[in-house]
Amino acid sequence: MEKSIKRVAVLTSGGDSPGMNAAIRAVVRSAIYKGIEVVGVRRGYSGLVNKLFMGMQSHSVSKTISMGGTILKSSRCPEFKEREVREQAVANMKEAGIDALVVIGGDGSFRGANLLHEEFGFPVVGIPGTIDNDIYGTDFTIGFDTAINTAVGAIDKIRDTADSHNLVFFVEVMGRDAGFIGLYTAIATGAEATLIPEVHTNVDELCSYLDLERRKNKTSGIVIVAEGHAEGNAHEIAALVKEKLPDYETRVTTLGHIQRGGSPTCNDRVLASILGHEAIEALLKGESGIMVGQINGKTVYTPFVEACSKHNKINNLWYEIAHILAL
């Protein structure tokens, strides 16, 4: 027996990621298909608190599947850590006749979602949307595939100029505390060295990887520096290397927020569409306090508590392979 839900709300929260619109679209259309009304909440949790509600129809999400960003807008909402603020959010939803919520975001967003579920028994299901790919309970998060493709395109261009001028480039990629973007882009661009938070690499080791003399035919170098590395950011690491290898011409590029924008790849659109649909199915099955993810092509429910406390692990063998192939 399906649970009775008359009106569901959907919001996007935290850093935006390409494919969030495809997920919103899937939530809206799957809900309408089941006879459920949909309310879009603008600006994440602050929209719940400030009643930024808008009715959504099937046509509200027309032509959004290929759009980057989020049509509902997003925000980080530190006030949501306070119980009274969450209480207000629940009261606002009840007043608007909303009886369930879908949250599209990362682990910070799921912590808030879990409190709505635990403290007020409000039905909430999450969809993993972040470029960082750091959420436990899914092989991939929505936006990761687009972000790595954007980064690879940019690093390929950097390689052209690095080669032309015999330069060593330190390219900083996003990921917060996780090295997925770093590792994937390093393998795909043939980077000479990869620095990710999960693996400790000191500057001496890094310099030995960069020994272009030993690498005979190499004239340029790309060092991928993932955010969150213990030795510092790309500028700091480049300065340390320059001290030890003064003959090297070095440059630094921080790819930054271009990694969060742009039209989602096919993989991200498909993942977002499936998970958006599965979020509505989960609510109708009476699920709450869980995230819908995909592991080996199958939909998996993971309690928010686990999705937030555990982390996806990088494959250490892949890290070694990146190193071997860069010789």
- Of 92-100, 171-179, 244-252, 268-276, the window that binds ligand F6P (rule: CB under 6 A) is 171-179
Q: Minimum distance from CB of 94 to ligand F6P (Å)? A: 31
Alpha-carbon dihedral angle through residues 316, 318, 319, 322, given to the nearest 10 degrees: 170
Among 73, 176, 218, 242, binds ligand F6P (CB under 6 A): 176
Phi and psi at residue 312, to the nearest 5°: -60, 135
- Identity of the residue, 69 or 163, whose beta carbon is nearer to ligand F6P in the bound complex: 69
Rounded to a whole number of angstroms, the CA Rg of the chain reads 22
- Identity of the residue, 132 or 278, whose beta carbon is nearer to ligand F6P in the bound complex: 132
Q: Minimum distance from CB of 130 to ligand F6P (Å)? A: 5
Among left, alpha and beta (phi > 0; psi -120 to 50; other), residue 44 is: left
- Identity of the residue, 75 or 299, whose beta carbon is nearer to ligand F6P in the bound complex: 75
* x-or-dash string of contact with ligand F6P, 105-144, rule CB under 6 A: -x-----------------------xxx------------
Residue whose token pair is 């709300």: 9
DSSP output for 221-274: EEEEEETT-TT--HHHHHHHHHHH-TTSEEEEEE-GGGGG-SPPPHHHHHHHHH
Q: Exactly one of 16, 99, 107, 132 is catalytic; which is it?
A: 132
**How many other CB atoms are there within 10 angstroms of residue 291's CB atom?**
31
Query: What residue type is 164 in one-letter code?
Result: S
- Does 163 participate in catalysis according to the annotation? no
- Of 168-176, 270-278, 283-291, 305-313, the window that binds ligand F6P (rule: CB under 6 A) is 168-176
Find the binding residues for ligand F6P in span 227-246 (CB under 6 A): 227
State the Cα–Cα distance between residues 108 and 128, nearest whole angstrom.
Answer: 11
Among 159, 260, 269, 277, binds ligand F6P (CB under 6 A): 260
Among 5, 9, 13, 15, binds ligand F6P (CB under 6 A): 15
- Pick the closest to residue 142 from 315, 305, 14 (CA basis): 14
Q: Minimum distance from CB of 17 to ligand F6P (Å)? A: 7
- Identity of the residue, 131 or 252, whose beta carbon is nearer to ligand F6P in the bound complex: 131
What's the gap between Cα 43 and its chain centre?
A: 17
**How many other CB atoms are there within 10 angstroms of residue 95's CB atom?**
10
Q: Minimum distance from CB of 266 to ligand F6P (Å)? A: 22
Residues serving a catalytic function are 132
Q: List residues binding ligand F6P (CB under 6 A).
A: 15, 106, 130-132, 174-176, 227, 260
